Chains A and B, each alone.
Chain A
Amino acid sequence: MLQVKDADIFYGQAQVVFKLNMNVREGEFIGLFGRNGSGKSSTFRAIMGLTPPRVQGKIEFKGRDITGLAPHVIANLGIGWVPEDRKIFPNLTIRRNLQLGEKARRYTPRNTKLFGMEDAYRFFPKLYEMRDKLGSQMSGGEQQMLTIARTMMGNPSLLLLDEPTEGLAPNIARDVLNMILDIRKNFNVTTIVVEQFSEHLLKYLDRCCVMEMGECIFDDRPSVLQSDDALKLKLLGVG
């Protein structure tokens, strides 16, 4: 579904990702791990066509070369991005934030179950309660739910989640993760999630990639990562 071929990613003159190769198959749930600054978020930005950064190499989505296309074109092809810092619109109500996630009808996939406003409210009942409040009045967890629901409103076939549980209280982080799993169960959406390494998350993943200093150093099933103590220590370690 998504293929990243020998991608080099730069900010100005500085290269942050080196010869990245990724092959995402339809329906997969992939975890992308790595320490801060290892190039995970930059990879997402590069896939979405956001500048900066600048990309050399090739990114293909559903067989089509999407390198260098404008973000809205890429989004309309079916890639949804949930950014790390959430980027909700504080000047709009929650209902209108969700509305903004909707795409023009011609970009909505046909013959599939669609994610609409009712689904947003069903998966995230909190959003329904707060629907007429402004985005600026939300807590971190609520903002995160809104961002995920907003991106789902566009019915992407590939969902890029950038640290969806970052900065949330453990019980709320668990809620958010469960909601993501619930959405995956009900809608056919291929997912790549960037997260801090946690063994809990590994259970649900089909595949893990580990990035270090802009290079992909591991790409295999979670069970293999589970048994690789040296690598786990590297991911968990701070020093």
Chain B
Amino acid sequence: MLELSLFCNGIVLGLVYAAVALGFSLVLGVSGVINFSHGITFTFGAYFFWAMYQTLGWIPAMILSPMFVALIGFFVERLIIRRVYGQDPLFGLLITLGFAMAMEELIRMIFGPATHNVNAPDFANGVIIVGDFLYSQYRVFIAVVAAVMVAAVWVFTEKSKYGSVVKGGMFNSEMVGALGHDLYRMRLYIMVLGSFIAGLSGILAAPIWSVKSGMGNSILMPSFLIVLMGGLGSIPGTLIGGLLVGICLSMGTLVAPRFVDMIPYILMGGIVYFWPRGLMGQQNIIE
């Protein structure tokens, strides 16, 4: 039974990773920026939510705080990321990492170094019983919301007209511009979308991981590695990568609890060795 519940935890975790990694991957795809401030938007989501949910209630806070995070994404793109378009990807990585560190410190100054707890909502605060298997309702709720986010992004990029522009922009942004589509606006929209997803994921994780200023770091590296594994811009690849990392991390605690943190790196190394463009990637990250 322990194995089964760890496996389910892995799937839940994997779906959250996949959702966050999708935002990372879209931003990287359309703007060529390795956005290391993606983790801090996850943290912001959790903090905004923590500050709001007791007065506003679970669902209103869950809708409202990702919007604030999206607004932060808007300003980050306008004021910071826009400056590094077309430059060496290292610049984007450094400037966003610097911003993320500054914000982490700012959060610690404002809210203090202590961790905060968020309670699961009343509607998902019990257990699901199947035979003699017990599972947390809240984790099922996370899985559903994360899966809806992944599906929504998939529908957007694969089915909508603007999705063609986004996918085209990942391949050849110059041509997309020459066909009359505003690249800067698209990059801004995608940054806002990515921040919204990361913010909402931060909220989902808050009751399980507890809210602390460094919580973004524990999602940033796995999502970066998942993008490398799944292949840039590929939603199925990112989903597979996310689930793989989530399940291996969760099951890994059974086998080698002390070395669990190494698992994503080993997985990434192994996959990239055989598929240099990731499992389903059509191009290299910086090609």
Pick the residue among A50, A71, A90, A154 that contacts B171 (CB under 8 A).
A90
Least Cβ–Cβ distance between A66 and chain B, in angstroms: 13
Contact with B along A79-116 (1 / 0, CB 8 A): 00101000101111000110111111001000000000
Write out, one digit per residue, whether chain A residues 150-170 have a CB within 8 A of any chain B CB (1) or not (0): 110010000000000000000
Q: A76-B180, A154-B180 are in contact. Are A100 and B174 (CB under 8 A)?
A: no
CA distance A91 to B174 in the complex (A): 16
Q: Considering only CB atoms, which chain A residue lies closest to B158 in the complex? A: A96
- Which residues of chain B from 134 to 193 have a CB within 8 Å of any chain A CB? 161, 164-165, 167-168, 170-172, 174-183
Q: Tell me the dominant secondary structure on chain B's binding face.
A: helix
State whether B167 touches A101 (Cβ < 8 A). Answer: no
Residues of the B chain whose Cβ atoms lie less than 8 Å from the Cβ of A92 = 164, 167-168
Question: Do B174 and A50 have beta carbons less than 8 Å apart?
Answer: yes
Residues of A within 8 A of B164 (CB): 92, 96-97, 99-100
Q: Is the CB of A81 within 8 A of B178?
A: yes
Whether A145 sits at the interface, judged by CB under 8 Å, is no
Checking A70, A83, A102, A103 against B175 with a beta-carbon cut-off of 8 angstroms, the contacting residue is: A83
User: Closest Cβ of chain B: how far from A138's Cβ, in Å?
Assistant: 14
- Number of residues of chain B lying within 8 A (CB) of chain A: 20
Please tell me if A75 contacts chain B, counting CB pairs below 8 Å. yes
| Nearest residue, chain B, Cβ from A135 | B171
Identify the closest chain A residue to B184 (Cβ): A70
CB closest residue in chain B, given A101: B179
For A150, list chain B residues within 8 Å (CB): 179
Residues of B within 8 A of A91 (CB): 167-168, 170-171, 233, 282
Is A72 within 8 A of B183, CB to CB? yes
List chain B residues, Cβ under 8 A from A87.
Answer: 172, 174-175
What residues of chain B lie closer than 8 Å to A50, measured between beta carbons?
A: 174, 177-178
Which single residue of chain B is at the shortest CB-CB distance from A71?
B177
Closest to B159 in A: A96
User: A72 and B181 in contact (CB under 8 A), knowing A50-B174, A87-B175?
Assistant: yes
Q: Tell me whether B171 and A48 are in contact (CB under 8 A).
A: no
Flag if A72 contacts B282 (CB, 8 Å).
Answer: no
Type the 1/0 row for A136-157, where 1 means its CB is closer than 8 Å to any CB of B.
1000000000000011001000
B26 CB to closest chain A CB, in angstroms? 14
CB <8 Å contact, A107 and B233:
no
Among B165, B170, B182, the residue within 8 A (CB) of A100 is B165
Contact, CB under 8 Å: A71 / B178: yes
State whether A89 and B172 are in contact (beta carbons under 8 Å apart), knowing that A72-B182, A72-B183, A100-B164 are contacts in the complex.
yes
Choose from A89, A96, A97, A107 the contact partner of B180 (Cβ within 8 Å): A107
**B174 near A89: Cβ-Cβ < 8 Å:** no
Q: Decide if A99 touches B161 in the complex (CB within 8 Å).
A: yes
Residues from chain B with a CB closer than 8 A to the CB of A89 are 167-168, 171-172, 175
How far is it, in angstroms, between the C-alpha of A107 and the C-alpha of B172 when the chains are bound? 22
A141–B183 CA distance with the chains assembled, in angstroms: 29
Task: Give CA–CA (A79, B153) in the complex, Å.
Answer: 32
Question: Which residue from chain A places its CB closest to the CB of B174 in the assembled complex?
Answer: A50
Q: Report how far A89 CA is from B176 CA in the complex, Å.
A: 9
Per the bound structure, the CA–CA distance linking A14 and B141 in Å amounts to 61
Q: How many Å lie between the Cα of A71 and that of B176 in the bound state? A: 9
Question: Complex formed: what's the CA distance from A48 to B179 in Å?
Answer: 10
Q: Point out which of B167, B175, B180 has the most chain A C-beta atoms below 10 A from its C-beta.
A: B180
- Complex interface residues of chain B between 55 and 89 (CB less than 8 A to chain A): none
**Whose C-beta in chain A lies nearest to the C-beta of B176?**
A100
Within 8 A of A (CB), among B267-287: 282
Report the minimum CB–CB distance from B181 to chain A (whole Å). Answer: 6
Contacts of A100 in B (CB 8 A): 164-165, 168, 176, 179, 181
Q: Kindly provide the distance from the CB of B91 to the nearest chain A CB, expressed in whole angstroms.
A: 18
Residues of B within 8 A of A107 (CB): 180
A136 to B167, CA, bound (A): 14
CB distance from A171 to the nearest CB of B (A): 28
B58 to chain A, nearest CB (A): 39
A48 and B176 form a contact (CB under 8 A): no
**Can you report 28 A-B residue pairs in the complex whose CB atoms are below 8 A from each other?**
A50-B174, A50-B177, A70-B182, A71-B177, A72-B179, A72-B181, A72-B182, A75-B177, A75-B178, A76-B180, A87-B174, A89-B168, A89-B172, A90-B282, A91-B168, A92-B168, A99-B164, A100-B165, A100-B168, A100-B179, A100-B181, A101-B179, A102-B161, A103-B179, A104-B180, A136-B282, A150-B179, A151-B179
Given A50-B174, A83-B178, 4 other A-B residues pairs in contact with their CB atoms under 8 A: A72-B183, A75-B178, A87-B175, A89-B175
- Tell me the B residues contacting A by CB distance below 8 Å: 161, 164-165, 167-168, 170-172, 174-183, 233, 282
